Homo-oligomer: A and B are copies of this chain.
Amino acid sequence: MKEEQTIPYKINLSEEEIPTHWYNVRADMKTDHRPLLNPGTGEALKQEDLEPIFCEELCKQELNDTDQYIEIPEEIRDFYKMYRPSPMVRAYNLEKALGTPAHIYYKFEGGNTSGSHKLNSAIAQAYFAKQQGLKGVTTETGAGQWGTALAMACAYLGLDCKVYMVKISSQQKPYRREVMRTYGAEVIESPSEETEVGKKILEKNPDNMGSLGTAISEAVEAATTQEGYRYVLGSVLNQVLLHQSIIGQEAKKALDKYGVYPDIIIGCAGGGSNLGGLMSEYMKDKLNGEGNAYFIAVEPASCPSLTRGKFAYDFCDTGNVTPLAMMYTLGSQFIPSKNHAGGLRFDGMSPILSQLYHDGYIDEARAVEQSDVFEAAELFAKTEGTLPAPESAHAIKVAIDEALKCKETGEAKNILFGLTGTGYFDMAAYQAYNDGTMTDEIPTDEDLERGFESLPKVEIND
């Protein structure tokens, strides 16, 4: 097998091969994209409605469904050069351990200090805020990867960065907090006394340990009430998938060099930024009838938005301060059981991914259980060296399953998955797995019904 010898372990691109444009999948989507709605009036939101929250250029990107490619400013490309192109890795050792004829590839996005792909969008959002002459940005963080990425981007640009960190996360992951502080970010435990929302919650219950929903509400309030600030977000939004498209563009460029076209493309899906980025050029092919990769979105069985949720208009946060988005959702009041893959605990899903799944361009969503995920993570770590983030390990689990199917059928399929990040700050979860105390918690139908009851009643005019 000549090919086996000529494809290196890591396919590295040169800095000149970093994409010059972001790919905007909305320009190629066949179904009219459902707009964000004002929850009060039910009307579609326009540029001016979004500008108090997001900076101008990002509002434009959020609403842009016509331009197929949007140029990446040179300053952002310079930042990308510090840690990109990210490697495309052939998982030779995992293949050998599985004894599969499949060829497994993964695009590794965890090689930067934020430990994930989040940095790709953080630098873009911080850059446009800086360009607009703003003083700083606010955001929330749960697991901490997004907050870290934003802190790094803001440090580089000299921009203020206020991160509302869920109090329980801040106390459970003090070292994540310290990374952000080292990059100069102000990390505020949420709920806090700094916002009206936070004050009200603490008045009722001073021991409230916070939630992502509360942190979002505080970050949005801080951005809209303080002069010179805007709010930024690490996933779900169209602009985030736009920025993340560089992952898929690099992936295709790397595999094209060896004439490899993936038969299966696998990504974990929490808010959707990773799979949304990984798929980019391959989804473009599929939408235009030029390629037919089989896309699998992997989610935790504990928070099964795509596999058991509804395609409906919903709020993007528990506090219901955001616009309504059309997406697969478990309802904004759904409370996912404790799952260590913090980045996948969102009850909703990127509207873009939701629509593509609804229309069949994303072929399959698969829910996997946590203990299986960590078993896959351990095998991956031992064979491929890198200790994966629990989120990424969801994709590993399905890649392994697909490779084992190939072992049965004898097919040498090309499997591509996204290794979004490293698990260095998730060792408490690994400890639970190592100690045998990890549990799988899957919502009952009754749990889901309770969540669906919180869906807003909206008339869709399309």
A434–B183 Cα gap in the complex (Å)?
A: 10
From A374, which residue of chain B is reached at the shortest CB distance?
B182
Say whether A82 contacts B8, CB under 8 Å.
no
Are B385 and A82 in touch, CB under 8 angstroms? Answer: yes
Q: For residue A385, which residues in chain B have a CB less than 8 angstroms away from its CB?
A: 82-83, 112-113, 152, 156
Task: Please encode chain A, from 2 to 14, with 1 for each CB lying within 8 Å of some chain B CB and 0 for all others.
Answer: 0000001110101
- Does A378 reach chain B (CB closer than 8 Å)? yes
Tell which of B8, B81, B179, B381 touches A15, judged by Cβ atoms closer than 8 Å.
Answer: B8
Interface contact A174-B427, CB-CB below 8 Å: yes
A181 to B382, CA, bound (A): 11
A138 to chain B, nearest CB (A): 20
- Assuming A15-B8, A112-B386, A387-B182, is B156 touching A93 (CB within 8 A)? yes
Question: Given the interface contacts A12-B12, A93-B82, A387-B113, does A434 sit within 8 Å of B181 by beta carbon?
Answer: yes
CB proximity of A82 to chain B, nearest CB, Å: 5
Cβ-based interface call for A383 (8 A): yes
Residues in B neighbouring A155, C-beta threshold 8 A: 381-382
Identical copies of this chain, number: 2
Contact with B along A129-162 (1 / 0, CB 8 A): 0000000000000000000000010011000000
Range, interface on chain A: 35 or more
Q: A156-B93, A182-B381 are in contact. Are A431 and B10 (CB under 8 A)?
A: no
* Contact partners of A387 in chain B: CB under 8 A: 113, 179, 182
Specify which of A82, A83, A115, A385 lies most central, judged by the most chain B CB atoms within 10 Å of its CB.
A385
A128 on the B face (CB < 8 A): no
Is A282 located at the chain interface by the 8 A CB criterion? no
Q: B182 contacts A434, CB within 8 Å?
A: yes
Q: Which residues of chain B are within 8 angstroms of A384 by Cβ–Cβ distance?
A: 82
Q: How far is the CA of A8 from the CA of B83 in the complex (A)?
A: 12
Query: Which of B12, B15, B424 is within 8 Å of A9, CB to CB?
Result: B15
| Contact partners of A178 in chain B: CB under 8 A | 427-428, 430-431, 434
Interface residues, chain A, CB within 8 Å of chain B? 8-10, 12, 14-15, 81-83, 93, 111-113, 115, 152, 155-156, 174-175, 178-179, 181-184, 378, 381-387, 422, 424-425, 427-428, 430-431, 433-434
Closest 8 CB pairs of A and B: A175-B427, A155-B382, A178-B427, A9-B81, A113-B387, A178-B431, A424-B424, A8-B15
